[in-house]
Amino acid sequence: MAVKDFMTRKVVYISPDTTIAHAADLMREQGLHRLPVIENDKLVGLVTEGTIAEASPSKATSLSIYEMNYLLNKTKVKDVMIRDVVTVSGYASLEDATYLMLKNKIGILPVIDNGQLYGVITDRDVFRAFLEVAGYGEEGIRIRFVTENEVGVLGKIVSLIVDENLNISHTINIPRKDGKIIIEVQIDGKIELASLKEKFESENIQVEEITRTTAKKL
């Protein structure tokens, strides 16, 4: 899974000379928490709600409302922005991008290739990608198996599903600490759930859960 397949391409950005008051208004209007700072088509920084809050007068200030507004409208983004921005290539794996966000305790990575900003990958994009990969929100059948970590188990499950003329749309394998494997399968098609479960269990494949799923818009 590449970053470019899940990133947000429509990026709202600002210039270094934007006031922090305007930046704050823009974030509030767009429902954003961070904004890339672009100058001459190049990424030069990042401004966040946190950096703006740090640059704003505290509630305990002795400044009047007029003085505070003057300060907010005078201070430029370039004075408070993060300059050392962690970025990622659009061709990097989504797993690498997630690791960078986790390691650096950040929720956004500008996607840069050949010096150009092509989009951003955010924690929300990662959440959405996880749901898409898992097949969440698709109509069909979801089955969770608990199996031994043995060669051929997944192939056996696939074969039994194909025998019922059903199509597998998504599969996830999750190792457990006890050495067993959780296999979750999203299936297209309709079949009586009890009979399908019985078929797997007759082949000594443990079905932990089997349920119908409904379509949901992500």
The pLDDT tens digits for 3-47 are 999 999 999 999 999 998 889 889 999 999 999 999 988 999 999
Does one domain contain both 49 and 103? yes
Mean pLDDT across 126-148: 92
How many Cα atoms occupy the beta-carbon half-sphere of 167 within 13 Å? 7
Number of domains in the chain: 2
SS (H, E, C) the chain: CEHHHCCECCCCCECCCCEHHHHHHHHHHHCCCEEEEEECCEEEEEEEHHHHHHHCCCCCCCCCHHHHHHHHHHCEHHHHCECCCCCECCCCEHHHHHHHHHHHCCCEEEEEECCEEEEEEEHHHHHHHHHHHHCCCCCEEEEEEEECCCCCHHHHHHHHHHHCCCEEEEEEEEECCCCCEEEEEEEECCCCHHHHHHHHHHCCCEEEEEEEECCCCC
Does one domain contain both 116 and 147? no
Q: Which tokens sit at 89?
A: 């290539």
Does one domain contain both 62 and 81? yes
Does one domain contain both 69 and 119? yes
Domain final residue pick, 130, 163, 185: 130
pLDDT value at 140 more than 70: yes
Does one domain contain both 158 and 206? yes
Does one domain contain both 142 and 126? no
Q: Is residue 42 part of a domain?
A: yes
Does one domain contain both 113 and 142? no
Q: Which tokens sit at 179?
A: 């050495």
Q: Is residue 218 part of a domain?
A: no
**Residue 49: Cβ within 10 Å count:** 15
Mean pLDDT across 91-101: 96
Mean pLDDT across 144-173: 92
What is the domain extent for residue 157? Answer: 136-213
Domain final residue pick, 77, 106, 130: 130
Sole residue written with tokens 């400044």? 63
Does one domain contain both 93 and 180? no
Residue among 11, 10, 35 nearest 22 (CA): 35
Q: Is residue 151 part of a domain?
A: yes
Q: Which tokens sit at 213?
A: 């799923």
Domain final residue pick, 130, 148, 175: 130
Does one domain contain both 105 and 32? yes
Does one domain contain both 126 and 142? no
Does one domain contain both 75 and 140? no
Q: Is residue 166 part of a domain?
A: yes
Q: Across all residues in the chain, what is the average pLDDT?
A: 89
Q: Which tokens sit at 128?
A: 């959405």
Backbone dihedral region of 184: left (phi > 0), alpha (psi from -120 to 50 degrees) or beta? Answer: beta
Mean pLDDT across 178-190: 91
Does one domain contain both 107 and 142? no
> pTM here?
0.75
Question: Which residues are CB-contacts of 150 (< 8 A; sequence separation ≥ 6)?
Answer: none
Q: For 51-78, write each residue's pLDDT tens digit.
A: 888 876 554 454 444 555 656 677 889 9
